[in-house]
Structure 1
Amino acid sequence: MTIAATDTAPAGTSRALSCLDVLESEAVHIFREVAGEFERPVILFSGGKDSIVMLHLARKAFTPAPVPFALLHVDTGHNFPEVIAYRDRTVAQHGLRLHVASVQDFIDRGVLRERPDGTRNPLQTVPLLDAIEKNRFDAVFGGGRRDEEKARAKERVFSLRDEFGAWDPRRQRPELWSLYNGRHAPGEHVRVFPLSNWTELDVWQYIEREGIDLPGIYYAHEREVFSRSGMWLTAGEWGGPRDGEQVETRMIRYRTVGDMSCTGAVDSDATTIQAVIAEIATSRLTERGATRADDKLSEAAMEDRKREGYF
């Protein structure tokens, strides 16, 4: 797929911008703003749909030049194989630089310990902050959106993090007229969310419009899964299934992708992007609310993790 710069109408004419045009223009502006303000930005890239769209927008913002930022993946070691394969294929295809922060490395060194429930999502914070400090990243792009979860709805596009990577809602800065304040003290950094104003439906409609390729697990396929806490989970070395949890083959797809231990699938027959869009349009639950067990640990699970330095 060829990336083209955002188009403009001929001089003396005007055209109405669609919702997707406006969102794309805003995201491209944010990428260029960060490139002008910061010295060492990095893009968080997992191979999930939001980070894929974010990378597409970054390429669009700087074409025909290469993306001026490296990628960073915090690898839990419990990732879906299809997603890791997509990540590596994308990096090779576009000649990108990839940093990998491995949760397993920190476990092997005794810095982190496995959780009793087997999930490693909460363990990503320490490797993330270590990678930011070691590489002196001063701006970190994330694919978070305000519609996903109430803690993310509180966060600005430019989110200041202190020297420990922690987020304090009281230090959020106003962003009137799309003016972004990237000032930060030594040791601090800024998380940047170009997709903050997008919805899940916007993301999928943009994927359709731009012809963006995704890992196949986002579309309905047969897979061996088992039920836990009302979610369909994939069996794996992380500790599932337990005694009494029956593995069965079902037609499912994933709305979001994370650690296999806490990312649930939904029953679906949506094998095409048009069918996925129709399915999302009728859903009353966000993808995280429906399929992420780590967000259900407590009422403030996401906000607590953000205060510790999480995405």
Structure 2
Amino acid sequence: MTTATDILTAHEYGNPYVLSHLDALESEAVHIFREVAGEFERPVILFSGGKDSIVMLHLALKAFWPAPVPFSLLHVDTGHNFPEVLAYRDRTVAEHGLRLHVAKVQDFIDDGRLRERPDGLRNPLQTVPLLDGIESNRFDAVFGGGRRDEEKARAKERVFSLRDEFGAWDPRRQRPELWSLYNGRHSPGEHVRVFPLSNWTELDVWQYIEREKIELPEIYYAHEREVFKRDGMWLTAGGWGGPKEGETVELRQVRYRTVGDMSCTGAVDSAAATVADVVTEVAASRLTERGATRADDKVSEAAMEDRKREGYF
């Protein structure tokens, strides 16, 4: 029986018929993109300007090059996003001539369809604008950058994740995917969430970014920033509701492992200023990026699964 070690050893010694683990992951993702393009009518890529969605778009560009990507992009803007990330998003869209749909949480608050939360968090408010964007644009397949190593609810996901007419996820309706055979059949009103990075780890993502020389927003690397501590995390001060009385703003050298919005995404103390530095740092970490830096996942043990059942990413 051929083991993973045998494969890596064969690749190391120049066997042209054996893929490295990054090549294998890339090949799987490209296959998924092409499968969706051939099976669905109106797919869309969720693109936030975070590292996973950036890698996902890079893979989509590879999958269809030299033709343009046959999908548009969808971003759910909480109104509390990092300016650096929004600037990167807009620059990328312009560079590749892509079509971007933006669903703004603020619009739903203004017209009364949503209410601000007492804790100031807006990430949990993304579900309604997301589902509205999917329904109004008649998207039948929605690419997301979720990975199974991020969080236990996401570990239950299939690559093709069926959502019902309300956008809800039911783990009991997930279909087997033996031999990488994907079943995209769905009834009118339903859609499928597709996760090309399901089998990637955070370290895989960073090693791929290093290999492919993919540009990221600068907040992923060590920089000085004014932050304050809340619930054990370094949060960025802003108009979203921080800091409160008794929370002291400090100037620290930090970076972000994951990017949501300013109200829920914590920075980590870091001196990792280059991709190679980040790869080394991530390899030594024993916490996933969501477990270490996302306040919205700390609400309860089942916080992510509860939101996914309501239609969240």
What TM-score range do you get, normalising by the shorter chain?
A: over 0.9
Alpha-carbon distance in structure 2 between the residues aligned to 1:148 and 1:220: 22
Deviating 4+ runs (over 6 angstroms): none
Cα drift, residue 116 of structure 1? 0.5
Partner of 2:59: 57
Amino acid of the residue matched to residue 103 of structure 1?
A: V
Partner of 1:70: 72
1:4-43 correspondence runs (5 A): 14-43=16-45
Partner of 2:7: none
Partner of 2:105: 103
Partner of 1:83: 85
Partner of 1:136: 138
Partner of 1:123: 125
Cα drift, residue 189 of structure 1? 0.1
Alpha-carbon distance in structure 1 between the residues aligned to 2:192 and 2:19: 30
* DSSP 3-state at the match of 2:153: helix
* DSSP 3-state at the match of 1:150: coil
Amino acid of the residue matched to residue 149 of structure 2?
A: D
1:227 counterpart = 2:221: no
Partner of 2:188: 186
Partner of 2:95: 93
Alpha-carbon distance in structure 1 between the residues aligned to 2:151 and 2:104: 26
Partner of 2:158: 156
Equivalent residue pairs, number: 299
1:209-250 Cα offsets, whole Å, 9 max, x none, are 001000000000000000000000000111000000000000
1:144-293 correspondence runs (5 A): 144-293=146-295
5+ long unaligned stretches in structure 2: 1-14
Cα drift, residue 133 of structure 1? 0.4
Partner of 1:113: 115
1:45 counterpart = 2:51: no
Structure-2-length-normalised TM-score:
0.95
Amino acid of the residue matched to residue 310 of structure 1?
A: Y
Alpha-carbon distance in structure 1 between the residues aligned to 2:93 and 2:209: 19
Identical columns (%) = 87
Amino acid of the residue matched to residue 119 of structure 2?
A: D
Cα drift, residue 16 of structure 1? 2.0
Cα drift, residue 15 of structure 1? 2.8
Alpha-carbon distance in structure 2 between the residues aligned to 1:27 and 1:138: 19
Amino acid of the residue matched to residue 57 of structure 1?
A: L
Alpha-carbon distance in structure 2 between the residues aligned to 1:288 and 1:220: 18
Alpha-carbon distance in structure 2 between the residues aligned to 1:14 and 1:116: 58
Cα drift, residue 203 of structure 1? 0.1
Q: Note the aligned Cα RMSD (angstroms).
A: 0.6
1:154-201 Cα offsets, whole Å, 9 max, x none, are 010000000000000000000000000000000000000000000000
Partner of 2:304: 302
Cα drift, residue 259 of structure 1? 1.3
5+ long unaligned stretches in structure 1: 1-12
Partner of 2:6: none
* DSSP 3-state at the match of 1:58: helix
Alpha-carbon distance in structure 1 between the residues aligned to 2:128 and 2:225: 32
* DSSP 3-state at the match of 2:35: helix
Alpha-carbon distance in structure 2 between the residues aligned to 1:31 and 1:174: 19
1:239-294 Cα offsets, whole Å, 9 max, x none, are 00000000000000000000110000000000011000000000000000000000
Partner of 1:5: none
Alpha-carbon distance in structure 2 between the residues aligned to 1:48 and 1:208: 16
Amino acid of the residue matched to residue 206 of structure 1?
A: Y
Cα drift, residue 153 of structure 1? 0.1
